[in-house]
A and B are shown apart, each in its own frame.
Chain A
Amino acid sequence: MKLLVVEDDHETALYLVKGLSESGYTVDRAGDGREGLFLASSGSYDAIVLDRMLPSMDGLAMLGALRAAGISTPALILSALGTVDDRVKGLRAGGDDYLVKPFAFSELLARLEALLRRGAVTAPTTKLRVADLELDLLTRTVRRRDKPIEVLPREFRLLEYLMRNAGHVVTRTMLLEHVWDYHFDPQTNVIDVHVSRLRQKIDKSFDSPLLHTVRGAGYCLRAPDSSAP
């Protein structure tokens, strides 16, 4: 997997390149918008991590030019501007996800992985399956080992999101955004309790747990035999 990091701040860029390389990606770096556009125009990247404020050509303009040229490489925008308004502007300009600076590296990684997977989604599915856990999107039912599990509507959406990202870490912020559509972090650990309730339902009476807590990062739903991320 090949990534392009467009970031003018040397320190941040170094940190990103180091972290992403250690996570197994090949990373190229561009220091400004023009260079970024030049590199990204080749279309040979799997994803772009893009700072919003860049010298010579700002991130949104660069993204606009890239999209206009028909290159749809998924892009994650990094920005110090964090209001909903800024977020909407960034997504409208062609961004696929938006992360407010400063961010935890684990958050960036989780989102980037979600983006990379999104590109791979093919036909619309009606059933999601992780090991022996099955979620039917049409009948809105959950079964494990053919035993029906009663879930609340919100738990269903939570599980759906976790299953769509099975095998990968999802952060609390990602869950708040995608399942509750809340773009702020409550001070109380509200998500943890929701997840532990869900875990009670899908894991309690089975010997192999599927839903795991990843310390300092978030949660991961994965089949017992697959390796830890």
Chain B
Amino acid sequence: MIAEKLLLPARGSWTAPRRIFGNAQRLLRTHAFRLAALYFLVFAVSVLSVLLFVYWTSADFVERQTEATLDAEITGLAEQYAQRGLSGLVQIVAARSAGDRGDGMLYLVTDPNGVPLAGNIAAWPAGVPAHGGRLSFTTTARVKEQVETHPAQGASFIIPGGYRLLVGRDISDATAFRNRVKITLLWAGLVALGVGLLGGTAMSRNLLRRVEQVNRTSERVMAGNLSDRVPLDGTSDEFDQLAANLNRMLDQIERLMTAMREVTDDVAHDLKTPLSRLRVRLELALLGPVDGSSQTEAIRSAIDEADRLLATFNALLSIAELESGTRRDESEALDLSEVARSAAELYEPVAEEKGFLLSLATEPGVRIRGSRHLLSQALANLLDNALKYAGGGEIQIRVLRGEDRAALEVTDRGHGIPEDERETVFDRFVRLERSRSTPGNGLGLSLVRAIMRRHRGTVELADNRPGLRVRLEFPELVT
């Protein structure tokens, strides 16, 4: 499967053997393969060492048991011999050899010529030296009417006078046990290695598949399909997180590009007019008499026009910057009332002069997280609007607290905005006043909305009966 995936990008011009070789090389280079191989290696080494340890401990245990039994038996016989001499030894051997005790003990006492005197072995086993010491030999045993040759272990002794003693133990059971363990462990090892191989492959395949998903998506995005996203499988593991992050990044890029396109369109459509107006003014100044005063006036108005254009440009750039989110976060914990108080204080004299009554009503301790600079600007835009369009009466700034939301309201007593136009006024360059007799660029509310989005808040227009109520809502900062 791994190789199959890697086959896909291969080009047909390759000859088959070269392709297989090339793919094998590429397979070796993939991270997934290396990971699988490493996984398998670690798995195999650990399984093998566990199995070897189990085998070694069990074999050693059986061997020790045999040794211990033999030692006990020899000690017992030596005590008998010390107390009762040779005859006592022969007697006890004869007694112990009688009947099948089922413990597999073997005894034999012979005279110096090797003629058996007592014991459960017929004759001194062939090939076993008669000089005493530890030894291994084979013995015959009758099992279910059949004579079998069993391995045995034991020790021989030369008793003074030339008599010989052989004490041994049939170790066929122990050997069988050891063989059984060996076979079991061998099978277990094979199964484990098989599982390891499968696990490694499955792991690498899964890994490769998910990397492949990311790769394909990024290729499609690069090919121009900007709205494509990496599929998530809902496990919220590292790969899901990676995919989610990539998707967020793509969202951001898409948003940036859309914002950029919008700004370009706006600039093309709405800045052309003032630019041509500027050009006409300068042209007229050039045509006019060279007496100075009218030319100075024309130049002055051209500068004003240029200033307005630049202000519009700056506002557009600020909006684009805010909407694309490229601006650095400068937010801090703020008391909304402070922001409102400061703006009210700045605007109060001008409002009074224009025949308004500017009032401030704040609930104490309404705190949010935000940028004082941006919020002051948003509030200033709303106050500018109210002063420009409401005509007179009361303008109120209110700071209040809703259900876990903080709100800042600016209300006036003017004509308000008709319901069907309350959404469009947020678009760039939209001005409801058809005559456009008051100065303004139609970007004030767009900027307010951009600032509110930046603060994860909302801006809503409502009827103040009569007048306009602009409500800015923020997530309240819980302290």
List chain A positions with a Cβ less than 8 A from chain B.
82-85, 102, 104, 154, 180, 182-190, 192-194, 197
Q: Are A190 and B321 in contact (CB under 8 A)?
A: no
B349 touches A187 (CB 8 A): no
What residues of B have a CB within 8 angstroms of the CB of A102 in the complex? 310
Whether A182 and B346, one on each chain, are in contact in the complex, defined by CB atoms closer than 8 angstroms, is: yes
Inter-chain contacts of B380 with A (CB < 8 A): 182, 184, 186
CB of A190 within 8 A of CB of B345, answer no
The residue in chain B whose Cβ has the minimal distance to the Cβ of A81 is B317
A183 neighbours in B (Cβ, 8 Å): 373
- Give the residues in chain A near B387, CB-CB below 8 Å: 188
Distance A82 CA – B318 CA, assembled complex (angstroms): 9
Contact A84 B330 (CB under 8 A): yes
Distance (whole angstroms) from the CB of A105 to the closest CB of chain B: 11
User: How many whole Å from A216's CB to the nearest CB in chain B?
Assistant: 9
Chain A residues, Cβ within 8 Å of B307? 104
- A85–B349 CB distance below 8 A: no
Tell me if A187 and B439 are in contact (CB < 8 A).
Answer: yes
A193 in contact with B350 given A182-B376, A184-B380, A186-B380 (CB within 8 Å) = yes
A195 to B321, CA, bound (A): 34
Q: Which of A85, A104, A184 contacts B328 (CB 8 A)?
A: A85
Other A-B pairs beyond A180-B346, A187-B444, 5, CB < 8 Å: A184-B373, A186-B384, A188-B384, A188-B387, A194-B346
- CB–CB B349/A83 < 8 A: no
Q: Which of A82, A187, A193 counts the most chain B CB atoms within 10 A? A: A187
Given contacts A82-B314, A83-B327, A85-B327, contact A190 B350 (CB under 8 A): yes
- Shortest Cβ distance from residue A31 to the other chain B in the assembled complex, whole angstroms: 25
Complex Cα–Cα for A84 and B318 (A): 11
- The 8 Å CB contact of A188, one of B311, B318, B350, B352, is B350
Do B327 and A188 have beta carbons less than 8 Å apart? Answer: no
Chain A residues whose CB sits within 8 angstroms of the CB of B55 once the complex forms? none
* Cβ–Cβ contact A184 & B349, under 8 A: no
Across the A-B interface, the 3 shortest Cβ-Cβ residue pairs: A193-B349, A193-B350, A187-B384
CB distance from A172 to the nearest CB of B (A): 12
Contact residues in A for B321 (Cβ distance below 8 Å): 83
Query: Does B140 sit within 8 A of A, measured CB to CB?
Result: no
In the complex, 25 of the A-B residue pairs with CB atoms within 8 angstroms, ordered by the A residue number, are: A83-B318, A83-B321, A83-B327, A83-B328, A85-B328, A85-B330, A104-B307, A182-B373, A182-B376, A182-B377, A183-B373, A186-B347, A186-B384, A187-B381, A187-B388, A187-B444, A188-B347, A188-B350, A188-B387, A190-B346, A190-B347, A190-B350, A193-B352, A194-B346, A194-B349
Q: How far is the CA of A210 from the CA of B345 in the complex (A)?
A: 24
* Distance between Cα atoms of A82 and B327 in the complex (Å): 11
Chain A residues with CB under 8 Å of B377's CB are 182, 184
Q: What residues of chain B lie closer than 8 Å to A184, measured between beta carbons?
A: 373, 376-377, 380
| Bound-complex Cα distance A154 to B347 (A) | 12
- Please report whether the interface of chain B is mostly helix, strand, loop or mixed according to DSSP: helix
A182 surroundings in chain B (CB, below 8 A): 346, 373, 376-377, 380
Cβ-closest chain A residue relative to B317: A82
State whether the Cβ of B393 lies closer than 8 Å to any Cβ in chain A. no
Which of B352, B380, B439 has the most chain A CB atoms inside 10 A of its CB? B380
Indicate whether A197 sits within 8 Å of B384 (C-beta atoms), given known contacts A183-B373, A187-B439, A187-B440: no
A180–B328 CB distance below 8 A: no
- The smallest C-beta distance from B325 to any residue of chain A, in angstroms, reads 13
Q: Are B349 and A190 in contact, CB atoms less than 8 angstroms apart? A: yes
Determine the distance from Cα of A189 to Cα of B439 in the docked complex, in whole angstroms. Answer: 12
Contacting pair B350 A180 (CB below 8 A): no
A183 to B444, CA, bound (A): 16
Cα separation A184 to B372 with both chains bound (whole Å):
12
The residue in A154, A183, A188 that gathers the most chain B C-beta atoms within 10 A of its C-beta is A188
Closest chain B residue to A86, Cβ basis = B328
Task: Looking at the assembled complex, report how far the CB atom of A107 sits from the nearest CB atom of chain B, in whole angstroms.
Answer: 11
Please, what's the 1-or-0 string for B168-201, where 1 marks a CB less than 8 Å from any CB in chain A? 0000000000000000000000000000000000
Nearest B residue to A190, CB-CB: B350
CB-CB nearest in chain B for A84: B373
Q: Which residues of A sit under 8 angstroms from B342, Cβ to Cβ?
A: 180
- Complex Cα–Cα for A91 and B321 (A): 22
> B373 — which chain A residues lie within 8 A by C-beta?
84, 182-184
How far is the CB of A99 from the nearest CB of chain B, in Å?
14
Residues in A whose Cβ lies below 8 Å from that of B310: 102
Does B353 belong to the interface (CB within 8 Å)? yes
> How far is B374's CA from A85's CA once the two chains are assembled, in angstroms?
12
Q: Which residues of A contact B352 (CB under 8 A)?
A: 193
List chain B residues, Cβ under 8 A from A194.
346, 349
Residues of B within 8 A of A85 (CB): 327-328, 330
* In the assembled complex, B383 has its CB within 8 A of some CB on chain A: yes
Contacts of B328 in A (CB 8 A): 83, 85
A188 CA / B440 CA spacing, docked (Å) = 10
User: With contacts A83-B321, A83-B327 known, is A188 near B383, CB below 8 A?
Assistant: yes
